[in-house]
């Protein structure tokens, strides 16, 4: 099955992981904005699951081999580096946390609650895609109608799927499953599938897309509690990514559409800059590693702490990518490919 890679999405990953590290180091007044960045990562996971650049794509989940291939690739992408990083951190810090709980995603601490959410979503993903395949093949549902259903599903999942209904244990407390945010990403993927055009052609459309995209990026920065408190002191502890996650997810989805449709726009070209693409490809390892460094970075300046931790995390990510990730990618590709129909 032919797939396509939009490098500008890697550039957006770089922006999001910078936001996470800045939030955790309290740099650039970004405290608390990690929640917004995590919402983006969840939206992107749902968006890419549906292969938005293809008219279909659900058929790869219509066979046991296709489902096993999906799991195989996800396991090799997520699990080896997580196990290496967490076991090393557990041993080096003499942690008293349960190693088994973390390795089995039973009760993850700190920033690792994110991975619990991702793993559960990917476990359920083939079921979601099978249902959508049936709706398309048997019910003759068009992609735009499926997108509408997913938007509605995202709203109700976010509203009713609370921790008292279903939860994951994270940081010693019940964490609700962010299914609504993943469904939002899938919905935007089907919006893209439903469009008859693959790019914005006219100059007015390109400029408009760039302006809206810049506004959304600016909003992701200036919606931090620090800046909100400038307008209203009562918002000094208001973290938009945690308080309004679905709205953050919706904005993330709009941004994804804009930079994929407007391929030749200035914003899309900016996010395709090689250094941003490279950081984006390293973003998962950066996310995993950086948090464990925080207690040992003795910088008085948050900006210096950000730079030091980000640089060290990127260096470790580069080593992992060169020595382990590339061989793992080759191993992932060894799974027998499905014959195209």
The pLDDT value recorded for residue 93 is: 87
Total domain count for the chain? 1
Nearest to 287 by CA among 63, 53, 37: 37
**What's the pLDDT at 5?**
64
Query: How high is the mean pLDDT in each 10-residue block of the chain (341 residues)?
Result: 73 98 96 96 96 82 93 96 96 89 93 96 97 94 96 97 93 93 97 77 91 97 96 95 96 96 93 97 98 91 96 97 92 69 45
Q: What is the pLDDT of residue 333?
A: 83
Q: What is residue 338's predicted lDDT score, i.e. its pLDDT?
A: 57
340 assigned to some structural domain = no
The answer to whether position 297 is within a domain reads yes
> Which range of residues forms the domain containing residue 30?
7-332
User: In whole angstroms, what is the distance from residue 161 CA to residue 46 CA?
Assistant: 17
Decide if 282 is inside a domain: yes
Give how far Cα 189 sits from Cα of 31, 52, 57, 61, Å.
30, 5, 11, 16
Within a domain: residue 210? yes
| Predicted local confidence at residue 274, as pLDDT | 97
Q: Is residue 339 part of a domain?
A: no
Q: What is the DSSP string of 182-245?
A: HHHHHHHHHHHHH-S-SS--SHHHHHHHHHHHHHHHHHHHHTSHHHHHHH-GGGTT--HHHHSH
> Is 233 among the domain residues?
yes
Given this model, what pLDDT does residue 2 score?
46
Query: How far is CA 108 from each of CA 130, 171, 180, 243, 245, rounded to the nearest angstrom?
Result: 29, 6, 21, 22, 21
């Amino acid at each position: 099955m032919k797939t396509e890679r939009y490098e500008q999405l890697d550039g957006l990953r770089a922006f999001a992981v910078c936001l996470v590290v800045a939030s955790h180091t309290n740099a650039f007044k970004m405290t608390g904005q990690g929640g917004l960045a995590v919402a983006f990562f969840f939206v992107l996971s749902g968006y890419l699951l549906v292969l938005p650049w293809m008219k279909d794509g659900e058929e790869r989940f219509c066979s046991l081999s296709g489902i096993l291939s999906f799991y195989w690739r996800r396991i090799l992408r997520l699990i080896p580096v997580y196990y290496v990083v967490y076991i090393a951190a557990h041993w080096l810090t003499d942690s008293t946390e349960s190693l088994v709980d973390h390795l089995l995603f039973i009760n993850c601490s700190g920033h690792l609650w994110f991975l619990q959410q991702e793993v559960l979503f990917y476990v359920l993903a083939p079921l979601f895609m099978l249902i959508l395949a049936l709706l398309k093949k048997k019910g003759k549902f068009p992609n735009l109608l499926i997108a509408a259903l997913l938007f509605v599903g995202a709203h109700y999942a976010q509203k009713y799927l609370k921790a008292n209904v279903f939860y994951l244990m994270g940081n010693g407390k019940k964490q609700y499953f962010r299914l609504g945010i993943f469904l939002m990403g899938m919905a935007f993927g089907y919006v893209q599938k439903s469009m008859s055009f693959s790019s914005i052609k006219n100059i007015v459309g390109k400029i408009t897309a760039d302006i809206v995209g810049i506004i959304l990026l600016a909003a992701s920065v200036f919606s931090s509690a620090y800046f909100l408190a400038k307008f209203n002191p009562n918002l000094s502890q208001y973290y938009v990514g945690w308080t309004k996650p679905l709205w953050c997810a919706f904005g993330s989805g709009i941004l994804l559409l804009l930079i994929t449709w407007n391929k030749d726009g200035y914003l899309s070209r900016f996010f395709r800059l090689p250094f941003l693409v490279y950081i984006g490809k390293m973003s998962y390892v950066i996310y995993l590693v950086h948090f464990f460094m925080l207690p040992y970075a003795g910088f008085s300046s948050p900006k210096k702490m950000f730079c030091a931790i980000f640089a060290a995390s990127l260096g470790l990510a580069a080593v992992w990518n060169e020595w382990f990730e590339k061989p793992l990618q080759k191993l992932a590709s060894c799974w027998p490919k499905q014959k195209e129909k």
